[in-house]
Amino acid sequence: MRRMNALGPAEAPDKSRDLLTEIIGRHGSVGEMVSTMAHSPALLQGYLDLSRALKRAKLPRALNEKISLAAQEWIGCTICLAAHTDAARANGVSDSDIALARQGTAVDAREAALIGFAVRVLAEPSGISDDDVAGLRAHGWSDRVIADVVGLVALNLLTGSFNLVAGIEPATAS
């Protein structure tokens, strides 16, 4: 059930109005999450900045989507799961690899280590140890990638949590 309403530029606070107008000018529209985040100019600006910054992450797009699937499965955001499933498919991820990612793993041991780490960052960050980071490095992952994963997890926690709090759900077929 929807708990927060989406805002158009006319209803949004000044800073959010400017951000929504800019996005609409570039893309023609804004999604439900972004227009609902417009209630908080600080949140909307922070989301947009973090999202743009993480587009420069060192992760391959398919692996990025697998990590997002693992995170959103844990968070429980159905709209995010649907969006990341579509994005994963668009980036060549098979249905079986999507299912594995949602379980927090992968066929490839190197990817499985990184996806499992991402879930641990989300679920129990205080439990991450020196050995965990050393294990990722042993799989060939750089400190940049490890840092990017933490950022990606944070972005997924933000979007998934916001959608759940706001009550944003996938559209149902009529």
Q: What is the mean pLDDT of residues 131-137?
A: 98
- pTM to 2 decimals? 0.94
Burial class (CB in 10 A: 0-12, 13-18, 19+), 170: middle
Q: What is the mean pLDDT of residues 98-103?
A: 98
- Per-residue confidence (pLDDT) for residue 170, from 0 to 100: 81
- 8 A C-beta contact, residue 106 and residue 100: yes
Q: How far apart are CA 115 and CA 25, in angstroms?
A: 36
- pLDDT reading at 122 higher than 80: yes
CATH number of 61-166: 1.20.1290.10
- Per-residue confidence (pLDDT) for residue 171, from 0 to 100: 76
Q: What is the mean pLDDT of residues 109-113?
A: 98
- Per-residue confidence (pLDDT) for residue 172, from 0 to 100: 65
- 8 A C-beta contact, residue 75 and residue 160: yes
Lowest model confidence (mean pLDDT) among 39-48, 127-136, 164-173: 164-173
Cβ of 88: how many Cβ atoms within 10 Å?
A: 24
Locate the domains of the chain by residue range. 14-54, 61-166
Q: What is the mean pLDDT of residues 91-95?
A: 98
CA distances from 20 to 11, 31, 37, 57, 163 (A): 11, 10, 10, 25, 18
Q: Six-digit token pair at 56?
A: 């420069």
pLDDT band at 1 (very low <50, low <70, confident <90, very high): confident
